[in-house]
């Protein structure tokens, strides 16, 4: 199984800050990676697919990069609505696996 | 409007069974693979199972293989998850999801809650 390791586990930041979350796969997954945002009590929301393609309707302050084993999600200028938990997910092969999540909190 | 609506969750004793359903609307259901993903209370997301467009291919996470069965009825635009031999660790919100062309889940239901307790 492919293990997905996110870091940091949690991060505190302020509105306007730039934040980067990393995700590492235990083996190469090409660009078969997605990023999701989840708020309490809600279903996840797709932000990025294919490692770097912004999902329709997602603000351009979100961006993704990477391929192979190392990936990043960057939020260029945090907005109040961005405080949530973020997950990476590999969809290269079954079993599909998620990272453990990164909680983004208000400083 | 593209929509997924889950139902069928509830409180069940260990060893019990439930049949979760997911009603799809607003898109051509038979053109898409479908997933179930779950989230235990206070925990992260866990992929549970996937099924291909015609139901001939099914994949499961190891922890549920042999106990859970994913299926679909394309004529009724419905996805199912039969969950048997339930354990306390199966307690979670169960989401159905539609993967896009890049295999990422771009449409999610709101979830249905399964609680396993005596």
How far apart, in whole angstroms, are the C-alpha atoms of residue B5 and residue B97?
A: 10
pLDDT of residue A8: 97
Q: A–B: how many Cβ contacts below 8 A?
A: 65
Q: Which residues pair with A4 in a beta bridge?
A: A25
Cβ <8 Å between B45 and A38? yes
d(CA A16, CA A61): 11
pLDDT of res. B59 = 98
Distances (CA, A) of B11 to A60, B32, B86: 42, 31, 11
Can you spell out the DSSP letters for A87-99? EEEE-SSSSPEE-
Going by C-beta distance under 8 Å and a sequence separation of 6 or more, which residues neighbour residue B106? A46, A49, A55, B98, B99, B100
Q: List the single residue in B with minimal CA-CA distance to A90.
A: B104
The answer to whether residue A96 neighbours chain B at the CB level (below 8 Å) is yes
Average pLDDT, chain A: 97
Tokens 């992260």 belong to which residue?
A: B44
Binned at pLDDT 50, 70 and 90, residue B81 comes out as: very high
Name the nearest CA neighbour of B61 among B37, B86, B89, B91. B37
B contacts of A34 (beta carbons < 8 Å):
102-105
* Overall size of chain A counted in residues: 107
For residue A63, the surrounding DSSP H or E stretch is strand A62-67
pLDDT bracket for residue A42 (50, 70, 90):
very high
- Candidates A49, A87, A94; nearest CB to B45: A87
Q: Which of B107, B115, B94, B100 is nearest to B13 (CA)?
A: B115
Closest alpha carbon to A87 in A31, A47, A28, A57: A47
pLDDT digits (tens, 9 = 90+) for A46-78: 999 999 999 999 999 999 999 999 999 999 999
Question: Could A44 and B105 be called an inter-chain contact, meaning their C-beta atoms sit closer than 8 Å?
Answer: yes
Cβ distance B61 to A95 less than 8 Å, yes or no, reads yes
Hey, is B21 helix, strand or coil?
strand
The verdict on a CB contact (< 8 Å) between B102 and A100 is no
């Amino acid at each position: 199984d492919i293990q997905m390791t996110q870091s940091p586990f949690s991060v505190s930041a302020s509105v306007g800050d730039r934040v980067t979350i990393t995700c590492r796969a235990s083996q190469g997954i090409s660009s078969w990676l997605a990023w999701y945002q989840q708020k309490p009590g809600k279903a996840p929301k797709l932000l990025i697919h294919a490692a770097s393609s912004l999902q329709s309707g997602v603000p351009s302050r979100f961006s993704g990069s990477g391929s192979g084993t190392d990936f990043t999600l960057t939020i260029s200028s945090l907005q109040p609505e961005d405080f949530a938990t973020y997950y990476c997910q590999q969809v290269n092969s079954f079993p599909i696996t998620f990272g453990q999540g990164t909680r983004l909190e208000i400083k | 409007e593209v929509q997924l609506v889950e139902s069928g969750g509830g409180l069940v004793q260990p060893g019990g069974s439930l049949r979760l359903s997911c009603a799809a609307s607003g898109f051509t259901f038979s053109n898409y693979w479908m997933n179930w993903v779950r989230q235990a209370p206070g925990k992260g997301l866990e992929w549970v199972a996937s099924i291909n467009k015609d139901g001939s291919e099914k994949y499961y996470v190891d922890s549920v293989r042999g106990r859970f069965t994913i299926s679909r009825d394309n004529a009724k635009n419905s996805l199912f998850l039969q969950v048997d031999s339930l354990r306390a660790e199966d307690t979670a919100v169960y989401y159905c999801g539609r993967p896009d062309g890049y295999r990422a889940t771009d449409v999610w239901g709101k979830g249905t809650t399964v609680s396993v307790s005596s």
